[in-house]
A and B are shown apart, each in its own frame.
Chain A
Amino acid sequence: MSLRVGLVCPYAWDVPGGVKSHVSDLAITLREHGHDVNVLAPVEEDASLPEWVTDGGRPVAVPYNGSVARLSFGVKATRRVRAWIRGGDFDIVHIHEPLAPSLSVLTCWAARGPLVATWHSSQDRSRVLTAGYYVAQTAMEKLRGSIAVSAEARRTLVGHVGGDAVLIPNGVRVQDFAPDSHDRQRRRELLFLGRIEEPRKGLSVLVEAMPAILDQVPDLTVIVAGPGDIDDVRKDIPERVTRALRFVGAVSDERKQELLREVQVYVAPHTGGESFGIVLVEAMAAGSCVVASDIPAFRHVLEGGRAGRLFTAKDPASLSNAVLSVLADDASRRALVARGHSRAEQYDWDTVVDDVLAVYESVRVDGEKVSEDLRGQALGRFAARTNFIRGRRGGE
């Protein structure tokens, strides 16, 4: 059965980000499965907007959740949300990050019917409380089903907000990463991705492992891609290792895909704090061999070492052994790559979307639609009245 699905993204559509790409990938995959999808998102410039995105208003940059987020709110945004719901005729409205002070929370208030939410980030309790207990509670109560993308996000929801969620991990569009070259045509290089001065990403572990690796493979290059102060990081690294490292700075999503397709080995020396490890899945989808620290999230993604090589976290000696072993043995590396590719397919949006559709189906009764909510809320009533008056005056 084909559904009319409305997706709400709280963050600006023109700015790259985790939630935005999640919403965009979900929308594209749902459309490929024959569903009619419309996305409501804040938009800076609507010149290059796909026809299935509705402009929710110009975003305003405000500090939120530890960084500057581009959000839409206010009277104008509220009006657009209401018009979108009225005109959308949706079977399901799926709100992302439902408590984000943007189009998401506005939609929670303005809509009734089969509403579903996805919780992305883990937030602390104080933030949830400052969001306003009453607003949060009322919004939450209308959500018929909640999805969490990671165990951490689910814990936040269960522990701090109250409520339950099913776990559906992030998907990866495997075909976007599909390798166009076989292992033997790839450059014999290592790739590191991540903010370079952040200890959790573990660049220093890789640097310490380098001398032992260079002893065996003197001409090896390591591409280090990620934001951060390059000079500051480089000054603490021995001369011999610096020559092997190629810092390329922050890279776009497209460039990241290219890099993952070009190198033989992707190294993830993270020391902890990762809840999922989507980049490992991307690397496997792109056909590079993954060498990663044995933190629980990575162990799970790599099937305990069958889909990629694991080494002891924070242990440079173990890292250099792992890297040398996959570089030296072409056959076993290719076996890991092959296994990794089928592992990545389990995280393909094509598979993940079935779980999302199951949630849609389990919260709605046949023939039910999402409609505008005007009852029980002073704000809702007020808006209804002003719409009525405006209508009598002959519209906007």
Chain B
Amino acid sequence: MSWWWLLVLVVVIGLFGLYLSMTAGRLDALHKRIDTSELSLDAQLLRRSSIALELATSGLVDPAGAIVLAEAAHAARTAADGEASAQDRAAAESALTQALEATLDEDELAEVRLAPGGAELIEELAASARRVQLSRRFLNDAVRACAQLRRQRMVRTFRLAGHTPWPQAVELDDSIPEALSAA
């Protein structure tokens, strides 16, 4: 009689272990997804600030606007260097969004488009701004899914996440300037 119970116990423990290992696998995949999303968002933000900087130094924008734009783009680039905290970087990127919004209105864009190479620059800037939005949205979606799984009791009790820090959503203003979104 007792070996029956033993068998049942072994099967139950086995199934439970399998469940734990599968859940750990899911968690691991989600952490990887967050890592790649972060890399991708980082790349898109860098691209956006370099194009903004290029535009500012191209001489196509009026001098005052160029200073505002160059300063914001430079601040965003500096904040990306790793020394700065995530909050500082988000603040710098949001400031760049505002600078873009302020400097690139319809009239300014029309001027820039007339110059050789201007239209391409604007198109690239619009494309990179759109990609920043997409990347951030996808990253935050992954963060949400991961946090949801990590809140489950089993995951917490058995510490399936190990020492991986709690996933953080990225909050920043990545709206596309109105004039630019029409581009």
Contacts and interface: CB of A to CB of B under 8 A. Distances in A.
A141 B131 CA distance: 21
Interface residues of A, number: 28
B156 interface: no
A141 B145 contact: yes
Interface in B11-30: 18, 21-22, 24-26, 28-30
A144 B26 contact: no
B43 A164 contact: no
Interface in A129-154: 137-138, 140-142, 144-146
B127 A358 contact: yes
Contact of A375 (B25, B41, B131): B25
Interface string A91-131: 00000000000000000000010100000000000000000
Contacts, number: 76
Contacts of A142: 29, 33
A365 B36 contact: yes
Main secondary structure of the interface of B (DSSP, over half): helix
Contact of B140 (A164, A361, A364, A378): A164
Nearest to A355: B130
Interface string A353-379: 011001101111100100000011110
Given A144-B33, A376-B28, A364 B145 contact: no
B25 A377 contact: yes
A138 B36 contact: no
Contact of A144 (B37, B127, B131, B144): B37
A162 interface: yes
B134 A162 contact: no
A359 B29 CA distance: 20
Contact of B134 (A163, A166, A378): A166
B141 A164 contact: yes
Contacts of A137: 26
Nearest to A379: B22
Contacts of B148: 162
Interface in B80-125: none
A362 B33 contact: no
A363 B29 contact: no
Given A163-B145, A164-B138, 17 more contacts: A114-B36, A141-B33, A142-B29, A146-B138, A162-B144, A163-B141, A164-B137, A358-B130, A359-B134, A362-B41, A362-B135, A363-B37, A363-B138, A365-B40, A375-B28, A376-B25, A378-B18
